[in-house]
Amino acid sequence: MGLDNIAIIEGGRRVGQEAHHRSSNVMINLPQNTTRSTWKTALTWGIGLAIGLRIALGIIMAAAWLVLEPNLPSSLPSVYGALEMPASRLGTLLLGVWPRWDAVHHLNLAMNGYFSVSLGDSVFYPLYAGLTRFIALLLGGNFILAGLIVSTLSAACAFSLLYVLGSAMFGLDSGKWAAISMAVYPTAVFLVAPFTESLFIALTLASVYLAYRNRWLVTAAFALLASLTRGPGIFLAVPIAIIAARRFICSTDRSSIPAKLSALAAIGAPLVGGFAFIAWRSMAGFPSMTVILREYANQSMVDPLTGLTTALWQWFVTFDLPTTLDTLSALLLLAITAAIAINPRWRKPEILAFMIVNVVFHLSFRVQGATSLRSLSRYVLDLFPVFLIWGDYLANSRPKTRFIYVVASSALLLILSVLYSLWFFVG
């Protein structure tokens, strides 16, 4: 039986994939003896999409910089901090067009550590910077190239895991289109730029996939790493807990005490990782994240309804590109979450709960002088259920619909990537 045929445990019986689609209140158990061919295909797609994205965006961004750079402000070099930018024209076109906005902060953090950067950079979690520093040391100190390597490898893993998980849940075509839909998403430039997105997505997908496979200790390791990559990694405790509950409570399986303790470790791991970093910051003498966000980003926590209404009003008043992208992203997240709740094929408690906690979190901010949903157009990439659902929708759509999506989304991706390279804020 192939990976796309999911075994469902219901009342002690194994039933086929069609029954799985009819009921969301059952346990997914991914087959363990027939994954080699699916993984081979998934890795082929994942590596191909990551390399294709890297080359295509690199070419269009280099061309845009080559043509338009003379018209940019001469003060731009000051924004790079201590980061050493390429001196040659070729180096600038190949590497120099990628460090923008938070990427500059991540690379400076990787190069200098927490005690030699601004307090604002102390809110960034350590894993991406740590991996970048390790690769940079192997490369003789080229931090930009190191960051690009980490992001590209992570993107290949993320696409591959999305392919596998989508195939397991909905079928091979759905897995393929889930990976494609993410690769051509308008803000996918952040997957291969020196940002934390692709690493976080890969670790999140690995955690969920392994939880479905009941590999609790390995799940704990990946979930811990995810929570050391981005703050919302702590929310992985929610889907892992639901998967574990359905495994041990809602089925007739009577597993051993060690297995249940391992599941508890997997649930607690993302909480341990996230709060351990917060505790370390406090012991190191850094102000709390709340203080940093308020002083450096004019950002404060509010209830999600206030955050959403504030953002909608800001959109109405401002109506610039970043505000539009972020507001449309919020509406997309709400629509996908509603679709998961309504459609029996997509209604999986662990996926729905993961979306709800993340949507509530991302809507619970208010910013003075900028969109309250700032960077949500980028954070959409972190929420893998968006692409699982969209991939399944595309897989069951007409070829014309898929063609329109790929062309339109790719065009937006190229435009936003060019703007990103020219220091326009797009996420």
Q: Model-level pTM greater than 0.85? A: yes
Shared-domain flag, residues 59 and 178:
yes
Average pLDDT over residues 282-287: 94
Task: Judge if 263 and 317 occupy the same domain.
Answer: no
Q: Which of 19-33, 332-346, 395-409 has the lowest mean pLDDT?
A: 19-33
Greatest Cα-to-Cα distance within the chain, rounded to the nearest angstrom = 69
pLDDT, mean of residues 97-111? 95
Higher-pLDDT residue of 38 and 406 is 406
Between CA 83 and CA 337 the distance in angstroms is: 40
Given 246, 269, 295, which residue is the final one in a domain?
Answer: 295
For 303, other C-beta atoms within 10 Å of its C-beta total: 12
User: In this predicted structure, which of 79-93, 203-217, 269-283, 333-347 has the lowest mean pLDDT?
Assistant: 79-93
Res. 178: pLDDT tops 90? yes
Residue 182 located in a structural domain: yes
- Its domain, for residue 243, covers 213-295
* Residue 423 covered by a domain: no
Closest CA to 266 of 295, 227, 321: 227
Of residues 374 and 390, more confidently modeled: 390
Query: Is 247 among the domain residues?
Result: yes
Mean pLDDT of the chain: 88
Confidence class of residue 248 from pLDDT cuts 50, 70 and 90? confident
> Between 203 and 6, whose confidence is greater?
203
The span from the CA of 306 to the CA of 189, in Å, is 30
Residue 427 lies in a domain: no
User: In 3D, which of 425, 415, 412, 423 has the Cα closest to residue 186?
Assistant: 412
Same domain, 302 and 291: no
Q: Is the pLDDT of residue 298 over 70?
A: yes
Q: Based on the structure, what is the number of domains in the chain?
A: 4
* Average pLDDT estimate for 15-34: 39
The single-letter code of the amino acid at 129 is A
- Whether residues 44 and 179 share a domain: the answer is yes
Give the percent of the chain with pLDDT over 70.
88
Q: 302 lies in a domain? A: yes
- Whether 121 and 71 share a structural domain: yes
- The pLDDT of residue 219 is 98
What are 310-328's pLDDT values in tens digits? 888 888 888 889 899 999 9
Whether the predicted pLDDT of 29 surpasses 80: no
- pLDDT tens digits, residue range 196-225? 999 999 999 999 999 999 999 999 999 999
Whether residue 232 has pLDDT greater than 50: yes
Contacts 24+ apart (CB under 8 A), 17-22: 17/171, 21/344, 21/345, 22/344
Mean pLDDT of 144-164: 98
Chosen domain end from 163, 195, 227: 195
Q: Which residue has the higher pLDDT, 307 or 43?
A: 43
Residues 11 and 58 placed together within one structural domain of the fold: no
Sorting pLDDT into bands at 50, 70 and 90, what band is 14?
very low
Same domain? 104 vs 69? yes
Is 224 within a domain?
yes
pLDDT at 35: 67
Nearest Cα to Cα of residue 389 among 344, 359, 330, 326: 344
Residue whose C-alpha is closest to residue 186's, from 401, 410, 383, 387: 410
Residue 174 and residue 76 in one domain: yes
- Domain termination residue (choose one: 244, 260, 295): 295
183, 265: one domain: no
Structure tokens at 243: 């998967």
Domain annotation covers residue 122: yes
pLDDT of the residue at 77: 57
Q: At what angle do helices 237-248 and 257-283 cross, to 10 degrees?
A: 170
- Does residue 244 sit in the same domain as residue 182? no
Q: What is the pLDDT of residue 252?
A: 58
Is 168 a residue whose pLDDT tops 80? yes
Residue 70: how many other CB atoms lie within 10 Å: 7
Together in a domain, 4 and 40: no
Question: Residue 119 domain-assigned?
Answer: yes
Pair type for strands 7-10 and 13-15: antiparallel
353-364 pLDDT tens trace:
999 999 999 999
41 and 2: one domain?
no
DSSP string, 262-314: HHHHHHHHHHHHHHHHHHHHHHTTPPPHHHHHHHHH-EEE--HHHHHHHHHHH
